[in-house]
Amino acid sequence: MKQIKTLLIAAILMLGANQTMNAQAKTAHVDVSEIMTKMPAMLDAQKQLDKLSTTYDADYKKMVEEYQGKLKKYEAEAATVTEAVNGERSKEVQDMQKRIVDYRDNAQKELQQKESDIVKPLMEKVRASIQKVGKAKGFQYVLDGSSLLLADGPNLTMDVKKDLGF
């Protein structure tokens, strides 16, 4: 009788422990930044952004060189021309400064917008792949491993890369 009680208590404890283990959420991690930086579509997008940035930089440098050239010329001729001409030149130089600043600001905004337009669909594709792989492997939560202090558990990064085709 005493053995039956002991077996019954042990069975109840095992069942309770099993239920506790099943109640714990299954969690994995994935390194999203690694996936994004090595994703072929992202590498192509980065090349496009670099090319656009180079074009903006070249145009900006050209505008600055033109501005500096006019400024030197006007400073050298300032003593030999009338006050009215110097006033016009001063206004022209100020207008050029404003155009240069406006160009730089607009170029930065356009680059940021272009980057957002390119990265957003890629990020959505990665997110969908993470969800697909996580659900297929039975995980309830998949965390971004790049922001975790301790990532000791299943890493789905390679599985997500494989799902994305690289």
pLDDT digits (tens, 9 = 90+) for 130-165: 999 999 999 999 999 888 888 888 999 999 999 999
pLDDT digits (tens, 9 = 90+) for 34-69: 999 999 999 999 999 999 999 999 999 999 999 999
Q: Measuring CA to CA, how many Å separate 151 from each of 25, 30, 34, 132, 146?
A: 15, 9, 15, 20, 9
- Going from N- to C-terminal start, the domains of the chain cover 25-164
- Quote the pTM value: 0.69
